[in-house]
Amino acid sequence: MNYLQSAYDILLKLVFPNSCLCCQKISEEGILCEDCFNRLEPTAKKNCLQDVHFPQFIDAAYAVWWFNDILQEVIHQMKYANRARIGIEMGKLAAASFGNNVCNSLDCITAIPLHKKKKRERGYNQAGWIAKGISKRTGVPLDLQVIKRHVYTVSQTTLDREERLQNMENAFVTSRPLNGLKIGIIDDVLTTGATMSACAKALKENGAVHITAITLATPKTKI
């Protein structure tokens, strides 16, 4: 066991050198140094569904932090710098921050899926790694196969609110019956809710009864 733990610690240091993701200072705290971690801006961690532009098919929505320059750098590193395992650590931090009360009624959690073409381009789905971290911290079962994206869509960042909704229409399909399940959907940032709503719609059409959207961040000023 000690040998395995030592090997794991060495591997972890290779993946996460002892430097902060944002300021590159030497850090023993983890992926963020204490100063940068303290610059994260926690939300009230309450159900923010009333602030989501497209809440259809979503029953509850939670974001852990307000989107700021620290989270922007973390998410950029996670998505585009081939450092997927950052997602696990951020998922654990997120779950520890809002506690088990958000997840304790869920039957499983999943992640907003990438289209297979986008996944080949990026190599991984960052939302899936965040979901893994949340699952590890809360003990809620993880099911990343329950829903697929079968339509290749353009980036939501280039679209206005209505275009985002149209872009996501019928983009997702489920893989099996979900009769009576309560499911949490994980993503990095909650903006208009168009992607979450489309994903929730597909899950509910196949039998899910309650959908909770959970993200690391949400902007203070909605698009």
Residue 169: count of CB within 10 angstroms of its CB: 12
pTM assigned to the model: 0.84
In-domain check, residue 123: yes
Walk along the chain (223 residues) and give the pLDDT tens digit of each residue: 455 545 555 455 555 556 888 888 876 667 888 899 999 999 988 899 999 999 999 999 999 999 999 999 999 888 877 787 889 999 999 999 887 788 989 999 999 998 888 778 778 899 999 999 999 999 999 999 999 987 766 565 565 656 655 656 677 889 889 999 999 999 999 988 989 999 999 999 999 999 999 999 999 876 5
In-domain check, residue 192: yes
109 and 135 both lie in a single domain: yes
Label each residue of the chain as H, E or C: CHHHHHHHHHHHHHHCCCECCCCCCECCCCCCCHHHHHCCEECCCCCCHHHCCCCCCCCEEEEEEECCHHHHHHHHHHHHCCCCCHHHHHHHHHHHHHCHHHCCCCCEEEECCCCHHHHHHHCCCHHHHHHHHHHHHHCCCECCCCEEECCCCCCHHHCCHHHHHHHHCCCEEECCCCCCCEEEEEEEECCCCHHHHHHHHHHHHCCCCEEEEEEEEECCCCC
133 and 202 both lie in a single domain: yes
152 and 164 both lie in a single domain: yes
CATH number at residue 147: 3.40.50
In-domain check, residue 143: yes
Our count of domains for the chain comes to: 2
24 and 99 both lie in a single domain: no
Structure tokens at 71: 């989270």
Residue span of the structural domain in which 9 resides: 1-39
205 and 165 both lie in a single domain: yes
214 and 204 both lie in a single domain: yes
In-domain check, residue 223: no
In-domain check, residue 214: yes
Task: Give the pLDDT score at 5.
Answer: 47
129 and 192 both lie in a single domain: yes
